[in-house]
Structure 1
């Protein structure tokens, strides 16, 4: 077994699973619930999705040869509530995930230890992948938490139900 190719296979599978899990939570929400936030300092599901997409596109476009913080990215704008529909939100979601997953799929095992930059900081490609695993899991957890809160007793569990 080749450890590098096995690692890439596993992380791609885990990221795809995380994406599907978030989508199952999002599917349970009405359009208006996607834009709900408990207060001005908190983010709605739509804003979390917009931020994740912006991060994915910035980090994973030409990631082997350019800094992961692209000049075209305006991170602060990602937290502005200008998405109007679920369709717009899901379009951003797919753009981000397609950019990210295509980037992951393009990695050759010998590139895992190659040094790339994110915000002018050196990272191995493997470190960059793990950085994103942490970041995207964090936000997917937020999406699920908000969805579960809003659906309350109507929530359809995403994993093994309690007492099963």
Structure 2
């Protein structure tokens, strides 16, 4: 697999990042801290976990295990983030780490074996593992946000909008665009 395939993965990371940000933009500050019950996580706690995971997995990812000694995963599930500003700071710090790491991959280092919790991965396998993890949690963020917002603006095809979406999509002809460009 060539290093250029990582660009496709990077676009998917960007897509999921945008879903989180579009959700945050639709929420009141207090919604970011809503917990359904004592066993659920607020959006802020989920962001704290994502940021901690991103920093651990992607800092020096070519040379050190993705589970850093300094990471305190259990603390990521505590209510540490106190306001929207802190939430966005943690969010952006994590994503900056992801994209900086992906941008460091080139033909010379693409075949490097990387480790997550002492398990060997190709760079592509590690990236796909993290993509699935982030999509899972961002889906949670979007779902909670949708439940809390009466005037929600759909981030994909709204209910009842599939026929119109497909008509537009297929009117472009074959290969009418990249999936993430079409779902906004």
* TM-score category, normalised to shorter length: over 0.9
Residue of structure 2 equivalent to 1:157? 154
The CA deviation at 1:110 is: 5.0
What is the Cα-based RMSD across aligned positions, in Å? 1.2
The structure with the largest helix share of the pair is 1
CA contact (8 A) 1:83 1:89 kept: yes
Larger Rg: 2
SS at match of 1:111: coil
Residue of structure 2 equivalent to 1:123? 121
- CA distances 1:10-68 after superposition (whole Å, capped 9, x unpaired): 11111111101111011111111100010111100000000000000000000000010
SS at match of 2:22: helix
CA contact (8 A) 2:49 2:77 kept: yes
CA contact (8 A) 1:35 1:44 kept: yes
- Tell me whether 109-118 or 138-147 shows the greater mean CA deviation: 109-118
TM-score of the superposed pair, with normalisation by structure 2: 0.84
- Structure 2 portions without partners, runs of 5+: 162-184
CA contact (8 A) 2:3 2:110 kept: no
TM-score of the superposed pair, with normalisation by structure 1: 0.93
**5 Å matches for 1:10-159?**
10-109=8-107, 111-151=109-149, 153-159=150-156
- Structure 1 portions without partners, runs of 5+: none
- Tell me whether 89-98 or 13-22 shows the greater mean CA deviation: 13-22
Counterpart CA distance in 1 for 2:82 and 2:20 is 20
Counterpart CA distance in 2 for 1:109 and 1:136 is 26
Counterpart CA distance in 2 for 1:109 and 1:142 is 35
Counterpart CA distance in 2 for 1:67 and 1:6 is 24
- Tell me whether 131-140 or 113-122 shows the greater mean CA deviation: 113-122
Q: How many residues align?
A: 161
